[in-house]
Structure 1
Amino acid sequence: MRNAYSVETVRAAERALMARLPEGALMRRAAAGLAAACAGMLGRVYGARVVLLVGSGDNGGDALYAGARLARRGAGVTAALLAPDRAHAGGLGALRAAGGRAVPAAEAAPYVARAALVLDGITGIGGRGGLRPEAAELVRTVREFGVPVVAVDLPSGVDADTGEVRGEVVRAHATVTFGAYKPGLLVDPARAYAGALRFVDIGLGPYLPTAPDVQAPQHADVDGLLPRPTAESDKYRRGVVGVAAGSARYPGAAVLAVAGALRGGAGAVRYVGTGTDAVVRAFPEALVSADGPARAGRVQAWVVGPGLGDGPQARTALDEVLAADVPVLVDADGLRLLDPDAVRARTAPTLLTPHAGEAAALLGTAREEVEARRLASVRELAVRLRATVLLKGSTTLVAPAPAPGGDGASPVRVNPTGTGWLATAGSGDVLSGLTGALLAAGLAAPEAASAGAYLHGLAARLAARPPTASTVAEALPEAWHSVTGTGAGTGTRTTG
């Protein structure tokens, strides 16, 4: 798991560690890791030209000390100082002693033009709201010459805590972050400015709390969540999921949601809706009914909403599903028909899976605001509706429902496997079915959402190019196998 912590938490950990170390030791650790990463990007350090963009804070000091290490290895290092009278004195002295030079930022263009690499040490994790005019002009100069940029800890100008981008910021090819990941490195829009991430351990671990602000699952984490059938398994032990989806206008939504559920390991799928003929043609193993969710038979979780439409039958289906005392996933048309009070009144878990537009409608704000403030938006929606929320988009986020009377917020999960190829019609229907199957298998709503998003993104990477929702569904068993070493639903029983 990649754990990310707020600026306040990271700074507290740094203070605690620095109290036990000689003065300057922590900065030298960070600079050593930064210099090593830069050397790897340069390939050949001797003779390479490097420019440091240096602000007045500790990030500027990190860049200066790293530049001194590169200069001692034969690189030609120039520091462009945005505040010459407030540059880190120790770092600047170390750079000059190693043979590097320093110039005012306004005179840096000729050096940038010949550089093989630029280090961004303008602002640190406390920066937000975009760059000041002189810094923005320097960054534009770097961009015009097309020089690769390594950000020191975080691209300057982005908000470390929220991932928001307001104004001119640095777009890095790589970011070397120290001690702990910051939420802005994992959450869009800031994530898109960070480039490839490299983590440098400087010893903060023992001083960080056990509960981070944001988490990004990795293969091993998802492997630990996914259910495995045993010799005693039957379809109910594996999980029976109900799917209320599809309409005359969107019959394919029913097929895709059922595909996601079946290829996501469900023991059985009970489909309810107008698409029974299409579902049975595609999946003869599906159990179908046109009598409504309340009379569909036993299920352990429901998926409702994909392609459901907005007529009376759709509203009745949603009401019946929400009345069931099992976990419920609501997507697409179900979100548009949703009564927030009905969600808040539920005692069984509820998982909502909106995209930015649907989240904006539920929050009463603009889509652009949700996209600019993804982390704050998903947290707010989870608190307002007292439900787990999976916010789809450029980074898919999962905010757990607040615990009744609980103190503090649970970590938000960030899906690291997403890809732009998922921006295709019907892919969300597949995700709903897959995640509903995991709910039916007994996973808690945040875990089902995290694992579902992870497998869904991985399947999109594995599907033939360009993928469609159908080929993403077809790739789910391969995605499952890549995580666990087994196929979805693999077991030793031969009967249901």
Structure 2
Amino acid sequence: MRQAHTVDQVRAAEAALMAELPDGALMQRAAHGLAHAVLDLLSPGAYGRQVVLLVGSGDNGGDALHAGAVLARRGVAVTARLLSDRVHEGGLAALRAAGGRVGDGPARPDLVVDGVVGIGGRPGLRPEAAAALSSYAGVGGGRVPVVAVDTPSGVDVDCGELPDEGGHVTADLTVTFGTLKVAHLVDPAASAAGAVHLVDIGLGPHLPAPVLEALQPADVAALLPRPARDAQKYTRGVVGVRAGSATYPGAGLLSVAGAACGLAGMVRYVGDDAVHDLVREHHPEVVGAGRVQAWVVGSGSGDGAAGTLAEALDDDVPTVVDADALDHAPRDRDGRDDLVLTPHAGELARLLDADRADVEARPLHFVRTAVDTFGCTVLLKGRHTLVAHPDGRVRATTTGVPWLATAGAGDVLGGLVGALLAAGLAPYDAASVGSWLHGAAATRASGGGPITAGDVAAALPSLLRDLLG
């Protein structure tokens, strides 16, 4: 499990650890981890390469200066561009002693290290920092690679948001220390972080429970339902699908395709006759109406969504509420907590009477608002899908590829989450595991190229075999 903590949590853990270590030891651990990440990025040969450090007044600037000293001792030509009258004195002395320089540096270095603002800095960059950064953009046919120290300068670390004014760093690699921060996992800041490399500096024993998690393959494998030795189809769970219509028959078929991944013992389809014929043709194992342990409702249901959702809710079983059914989800904070709502940004904006651009700019804020409004698990689809629980827990999904942005992919996801609910997972686990599997299946199906929603569904069985093996 990858875990993310707030700035205050990290600072408290650092203070506790520093009380156990010699003065400066924690910064040295961070600086050496940063330097070795830079060396890896400069490989196969770092000797003679040119690196510019953008150095602010905080500890991130100190990390950058000490890392620069390590790089200079490896033969890297390091120049520190100081953006404040107050910089870390020990780090500056170490850089100079190792042969590093202070000044503007070359116009086109091989790499820039962003040590401008620490994790406690305000969102946005001061004009001099923004000007320094922009001087390395587009010179000689492309942007100079940027490595951010801890988080990209200018982003909102605890919310994952970007500043309204002042700009921010867009990094190719972010090297962070001790634990992830929210901005590493939550878009749009996560997009600005690039690849994230975590350096262990010993904070673990001092960290409290995280505010955000990201499942990893071992976590998903541990959560996946497995049949008991004496299992039969009913004990493994029955998932029902009420989706699709004469206007949108494919939505019903794709919802069934996600549900029919093999995790549940049986899939039932209840709905339009035309869709039923399609389902029977492509999934002859799917049966009709009867008792279920979970419902999937809404995709492509059109005007019939209100009725089909009401019928599903009457069964009093966990229910995935998607697409057209979202407008009819019960808004009761003390009511049905066994629902999973699966909106994309546009749908959530409509439900909360917000602007879609605002939802995309502040997804963590709005998914939490949705949970408070509806009182159940909410899965907000996006590049990094967020799953939020009424008790405050949040998970981010980091699997997937841009090709997953394709029509019908959400229908497959809804069916998959429904199968996990029917097989016995709690709504929060079903939503976050389903989202992870959905992204991983898309990555497997894509192989770097275009995919369709059906490809994602088809990749699920082999992915599950590998995880369960």
Name the SS of the counterpart of 1:252 in structure 2: helix
Structure 2 match to 1:60: 61
Structure 2 match to 1:75: 76
Among candidates 453, 457, 462, match of residue 444 of structure 2: 462
What amino acid maps onto 2:199 in structure 1?
V
- Root-mean-square deviation over aligned CA pairs: 1.3
Query: Is 2:408 the counterpart of 1:426?
Result: yes
Among candidates 459, 464, 467, match of residue 480 of structure 1: 464
Q: 1:473 to 1:262 in 2, by over 3 A?
A: same
What amino acid maps onto 1:13 in structure 2?
A
CA shift, 1:401, in A, is 2.3
CA shift, 1:424, in A, is 0.7
Structure 2 match to 1:405: none
What amino acid maps onto 1:186 in structure 2?
L
CA shift, 1:361, in A, is 1.4
Structure 1 match to 2:297: 304
CA shift, 1:129, in A, is 2.4
TM-score (norm 2): 0.95
Unaligned runs of 5+ in 1: 289-295, 403-408, 486-496
Contact 1:330–1:353 (CA<8 Å) still a contact in 2?
yes
Q: 1:451 to 1:58 in 2, by over 3 A?
A: same
What amino acid maps onto 2:225 in structure 1?
P
What amino acid maps onto 1:200 in structure 2?
V
Name the SS of the counterpart of 2:138 in structure 1: helix
**d(CA) in 2 for partners of 1:59, 1:279:** 57
CA shift, 1:448, in A, is 0.6
Name the SS of the counterpart of 1:389 in structure 2: strand
CA deviations 1:244-292 (Å, max 9, x no partner) are 111111011111111110115221111111021111111111112xxxx
**d(CA) in 1 for partners of 2:122, 2:227:** 49
Structure 2 match to 1:492: none
Name the SS of the counterpart of 1:238 in structure 2: coil
Query: Is 2:142 the counterpart of 1:160?
Result: no
What amino acid maps onto 2:308 in structure 1?
A
**1:383-394 alignment, distance < 5 Å:** 383-394=372-383
**1:54-133 alignment, distance < 5 Å:** 54-83=55-84, 85-103=85-103, 108=104, 111-133=105-127
**1:368-383 alignment, distance < 5 Å:** 368-383=357-372
Name the SS of the counterpart of 1:3 in structure 2: strand
Structure 2 match to 1:20: 20
**d(CA) in 1 for partners of 2:194, 2:262:** 32
Structure 2 match to 1:488: none
Structure 1 match to 2:305: 314
**1:296-375 alignment, distance < 5 Å:** 296-310=289-303, 313-341=304-332, 344-346=334-336, 349-375=338-364
**Number of residue equivalences:** 459
Name the SS of the counterpart of 1:381 in structure 2: helix
**d(CA) in 2 for partners of 1:483, 1:428:** 22
Q: 1:218 to 1:416 in 2, by over 3 A?
A: same
Name the SS of the counterpart of 2:154 in structure 1: coil
CA shift, 1:344, in A, is 4.8
Name the SS of the counterpart of 2:343 in structure 1: coil
**d(CA) in 1 for partners of 2:31, 2:254:** 50
CA deviations 1:49-102 (Å, max 9, x no partner) are 11000001110000000001111122111000011x201111111111111111
What amino acid maps onto 2:302 in structure 1?
G
Contact 1:52–1:79 (CA<8 Å) still a contact in 2?
yes
What amino acid maps onto 2:151 in structure 1?
L
Structure 2 match to 1:181: 180
Structure 2 match to 1:441: 423
Structure 1 consecutive aligned stretches of length 4 or more whose deviation exceeds 6 Å: none
Name the SS of the counterpart of 2:60 in structure 1: helix
What amino acid maps onto 1:148 in structure 2?
P
Name the SS of the counterpart of 1:129 in structure 2: coil
Percent identity among equivalent residues? 59
What amino acid maps onto 2:18 in structure 1?
M
Contact 2:331–2:375 (CA<8 Å) still a contact in 1?
no
**d(CA) in 1 for partners of 2:108, 2:254:** 53
**d(CA) in 2 for partners of 1:484, 1:197:** 28
Name the SS of the counterpart of 1:286 in structure 2: coil
Unaligned runs of 5+ in 2: none
**d(CA) in 2 for partners of 1:191, 1:264:** 33
Query: Is 2:191 the counterpart of 1:192?
Result: yes
What amino acid maps onto 2:183 in structure 1?
G
What amino acid maps onto 1:478 in structure 2?
S
**d(CA) in 2 for partners of 1:299, 1:229:** 17
Contact 1:247–1:309 (CA<8 Å) still a contact in 2?
yes
Contact 2:385–2:435 (CA<8 Å) still a contact in 1?
yes
Name the SS of the counterpart of 2:180 in structure 1: coil
CA deviations 1:99-122 (Å, max 9, x no partner) are 11112xxxx2xx242411111000
What amino acid maps onto 2:348 in structure 1?
A
CA deviations 1:287-331 (Å, max 9, x no partner) are 12xxxxxxx321001111010112xx4322111212222111100
Structure 1 match to 2:147: 150
What amino acid maps onto 2:399 in structure 1?
T
